[in-house]
Amino acid sequence: MKTISDYNFENKKALIRVDFNVPLNEEFKVTDDTRIQAAKPTIIKVLEDGGSAVLMSHLGRPKGVQDEFSLRHIVEKVSEVLGVQVKFVANCVGQEAEDVVEALNPGEVLLLENLRFHPSETAGDEAFAEQLSKLGDIYVNDAFGTAHRAHASTTVVAKFFPDQKCFGSLLAKEIESIDKVLSSGEKPVTAVLGGSKVSSKITIIENILDKVDHLIVGGGMTYTFVKAQGGQIGDSICEDDKQELALEILKKAAEKGVQIHLPVDVLGADAFDNNANTEIMKVDAIKEGWQGLDAGPETLTNFHDVILQSKTILWNGPLGVFEMENFAKGTIALGHSIAEATQNGAFSLVGGGDSVAAVKQFGFGDKVSYVSTGGGAMLESLEGKTLPGIAAIEN
């Protein structure tokens, strides 16, 4: 795996694909700079070598040129994070961009305008990728969040840098972290899969059954498994058409010697409401008109024991409706268990939108080994797919 540490950027211009698709408020100020912070080590390495950095990114899903999606809004924040006054050019290809790049001095950083102002970016257009390639001597992909997209800037551009392309430190870390879970991690390996639907996680489950020792199933998925086995789930969320699939997963896991851990009790509620009446119930005996909205205390004790025995942990998806305070306890307890295991030397990887949101909300970010920056890309990696943005560097 060729990474940024294999190159010296002295007097070189690095064309870096970053993921600066950050949230902005009504005043167009950045409200969460996590993705900018994540790209910082790669950019600083280039500058410290005596090179210059040309940054390209998308922001949102603009329809043509729309000022609200202009990357000029984030120049101030990027400058603040990097500690360098970042320059900006109002296009990402063409003569103007080429002239500004040409005039860049070592130690300088240039941010190009939103790639997606050009439909050619998402179309993976080769001529557009060739235009981008004129803006650097070495191509660096550091955008894991878009590595599953075969876009011009994430994949196609790499072919114009046959020997001068590498992964940035963020993308390299993402690849290593997923590899630890899927192949090189110390056993026992435990995957915690939560969220509401079995259907959205089925390919992940099928791919990781050969690689894990324990699979903890939580969240809304629980009730499809419980109902499939004849349990009473009241009004809990359930994918009726996936019950056979749930039984198949249980059978496959047993054949492969993987222990599946399902909740045994839940916090039931008589409405999908933070202020609903609640009661602890057995997971397979939920009363009519009630629904399970969080894991129960006995379940959390069981999960805690499994996690503390684990040496490698993947967490993808919450255990309950954590957006409502009264149903967040299970997800918070799971976070504490994973933090404790990590402190004891386990490797823990958290990924997927909701789990990352929970980790941030409840302050577990620095208590786990790695928090993935790419939702869709992370899930496709766990499904065993080769991501186009990664293949483009490795080929």
For residue 128, report the phi and psi dihedrals to the nearest 5 degrees: -65, -45
DSSP state of 14: E
Instruction: Enumerate residues 6+ apart whose C-beta is below 8 A from 386.
Output: none
- Give SS3 for 370: strand
What's the Cα-to-Cα distance from 28 to each of 75, 329, 375, rounded to whole Å? 11, 34, 24
Q: 133 in the Ramachandran plot: left (φ > 0), alpha (ψ -120 to 50) or beta? A: alpha
Residue holding tokens 């186009």? 388
DSSP state of 91: -
Asked if residue 17 belongs to a known ligand binding site, the reply is no
Catalytic residues, by residue number, are 35, 197, 353, 376
Asked if residue 77 belongs to a known ligand binding site, the reply is no
Asked if residue 61 belongs to a known ligand binding site, the reply is yes
Asked if residue 58 belongs to a known ligand binding site, the reply is yes
Asked if residue 73 belongs to a known ligand binding site, the reply is no
Asked if residue 353 belongs to a known ligand binding site, the reply is yes
Asked if residue 354 belongs to a known ligand binding site, the reply is yes
Asked if residue 8 belongs to a known ligand binding site, the reply is no
Asked if residue 35 belongs to a known ligand binding site, the reply is yes
Asked if residue 20 belongs to a known ligand binding site, the reply is yes
- Rounded Cα distance, 139 and 209, in Å: 36
- Helix intervals (H) in 3-69: 34-49
Largest CA distance in the chain: 71
Asked if residue 21 belongs to a known ligand binding site, the reply is yes
Q: Which of 61, 67, 90 is nearest to 149 (CA)?
A: 61
Asked if residue 165 belongs to a known ligand binding site, the reply is no
Are the beta carbons of 93 and 99 closer than 8 angstroms?
A: no
| Binding-site residue ranges | 19-21, 35, 58-61, 116, 149, 201, 292, 323, 352-355
| Binding-site residue ranges for (2R)-3-phosphoglycerate | 35, 116, 149
| Binding-site residue ranges for ATP | 201, 292, 323, 352-355
